[in-house]
Amino acid sequence: MHLHCSFRTGGPVRVLALPQDEESLVALCTYLSSVGVTPCLLGNGTNVVFPDEGNDSLFVISTGDLQSVRLLPEGVISASAGLPLSRLAAFACENGLAGLEFASGIPGSVGGGILMNAGAYGGELKDVVVSVRFLDLSTGKIWEYSGSECAFGYRHSCFQTGGKVILQASFRLQPGDKAEISARMKDLNQRRRDKQPLDLPSCGSAFRRPEGYFAAALIDECGLKGVSVGGAQVSEKHAGFIVNTGHATTSDLRNLLALVRSEVYRQKHIDLQPEIILLPTP
């Protein structure tokens, strides 16, 4: 699974399904659910890491029509779960719609972005989500939640409790000038390139932002920049990122997360919570 994970680690999984449209995705997940198998949905694999030993579960990646996007009346865009957020933001810009500039440099998909309430530079998906359509695995029914029913919070949504397959989401945006929208996106992406270690594999911010602090500043102040376990290293460029310097394993990442967490707790009495989702070995 290292090929499907932006940290580039992880052993094999038993089954990887690549449905091409919503009908196949729903049929597959409904069938699996009826025989007692819970599928694990993947987006772009930019916030999940797979165990080195492999995993016996069944993983699903949305491809084909599940990456489609279309413009609806009144500044609303409908996007399927597998669509990359960068393409969603570019589509909004092409149609002169503002509000998703912050998302253009987030490497996740619509599904993963909704589940995490992805955000950057003062914007979060919750600010623009009108509704989310999903398959409820416990009933086999398709439901739609309004933005307020999604219980969005900082890197949180109701979809994190599991049992729901995000199929599609709608976003309401504001009319804007295409050139200005594009300039804002370019500026934010340049800021990312200047500050973040985008030349090395990572999962973005390794830890959630603790209330009242910045994880990167705490890690830096504890002298942990550049500290490594095997091939996993606290980035020299941005202490909030853990990068794969070439030969990292998931176990290196897990051990480095634990080391950083215990050192920050020892020095600052703040218990950092990982933002990266480490999938368990069944």
Ligand X SMILES: Cc1cc2nc3c(=O)[nH]c(=O)nc-3n(C[C@H](O)[C@H](O)[C@H](O)COP(=O)(O)OP(=O)(O)OC[C@H]3O[C@@H](n4cnc5c(N)ncnc54)[C@H](O)[C@@H]3O)c2cc1C
Shortest distance (Å) from residue 247 CB to ligand X:
19
CB 42 within 8 A of CB 61: yes
What distance, in Å, lies between the first and last C-alpha atoms of the chain?
Answer: 15
The piece of 12-20, 112-120, 226-234, 255-263 that touches ligand X (CB under 6 A) is 112-120
Closer CB to ligand X, residue 178 or residue 209? 209
Closer CB to ligand X, residue 118 or residue 229? 118
Binding-site member from 16, 18, 40, 158 for ligand X (CB under 6 A): 40
Size of the site for ligand X (CB under 6 A): 31
The set of residues, in sequence order, having a beta carbon less than 8 Å from that of 35 and lying 6+ positions away, is none
Binding-site member from 77, 83, 97, 120 for ligand X (CB under 6 A): 120
Q: How many CB atoms lie within 10 A of CB 46?
A: 23
Q: Which of residues 53-82 bind ligand X (CB under 6 A)?
A: 81
Q: Which helix (H) or strand (E) holds 177?
A: none
Catalytic-residue membership of 221: no
Q: Is 41 in the site for ligand X (CB under 6 A)?
A: yes
Q: Is 243 in the site for ligand X (CB under 6 A)?
A: no
Q: Given the residues 155, 170, 202, 254, select the one marked as catalytic.
A: 155
Q: Given the residues 22, 205, 235, 254, select the one marked as catalytic.
A: 205
**Order of strands, sheet of 228-229, starting from the edge strand that comes earlier in the sequence:** 202-205, 241-244, 232-234, 228-229
Shortest distance (Å) from residue 10 CB to ligand X:
12
Binding-site member from 119, 147, 240, 274 for ligand X (CB under 6 A): 119
**What CA–CA distance (Å, rounded) separates 2 from 7?**
7
**In Å, how far are 150, 166, 239 from 143, measured between CA atoms?**
12, 10, 40
Catalytic-residue membership of 155: yes
CB 173 within 8 A of CB 79: no
**What CA–CA distance (Å, rounded) separates 128 from 100?**
8
Q: Is 111 in the site for ligand X (CB under 6 A)?
A: yes
Catalytic residues: 155, 205, 275
Residue ranges in contact with ligand X by CB under 6 A: 6, 40-48, 81, 106-109, 111-113, 115-116, 118-120, 159, 165-166, 198, 202-204, 277
